[in-house]
Structure 1
Amino acid sequence: MTKSIRIGTRDSALALWQATHVAEKLNALGYTTEIIAIKSEGDIVLDKPLYELGITGIFTKTLDIAMLQGRIDIAVHSMKDVPTALPNGIIQGAVLERASCADLLVYNKDTRFLETEGVIATSSLRRKAQWLNKYPKHTVEDLRGNVNTRLQKLETQGWNGAIFAAAGLERIHIKPKNHLILDWMVPAPAQGAMMVVVNQDDNYCFEAVNQLNHIETEICTHIERQFLRTLEGGCTAPIAALAQYNEADDSIHFKGVLLSVDGKEKIELEKNVPIQEWKKLGYYSAKEVLENGGTALMEMIKQTLKN
Structure 2
Amino acid sequence: MVIMDTGSLQAFVAVAETGSFSRAAEQLFLTQSAMSKRISILEQQLDCRLFDRIGRTVSLTEAGQELLPRARKILLALEDARRSLSNLSGEISGSLSVAASHHISLHRLPPILRQFTRECPEVKLDLRFDESEIAYDNVLRGNLEIALITLSPNPDPNILSQTVWQDKLHYVVASDHPLAKLKQVTLEQLTDYPAILPGTATFTRLIAEQPFAKLNLQPDIAMSTNYLDTIKMMVEIGLGWSLLPETMSEHSLSVLNVDAPPVTRELGYITHKERTLSNAARRFIHLLDQAAEKGS
The bucket for the TM-score relative to the shorter chain is 0.3 to 0.5
- Structure-1-length-normalised TM-score: 0.45
Where is the helix percentage greater, Structure 1 or Structure 2?
2
The structure having more radius of gyration, on CA atoms, is 2
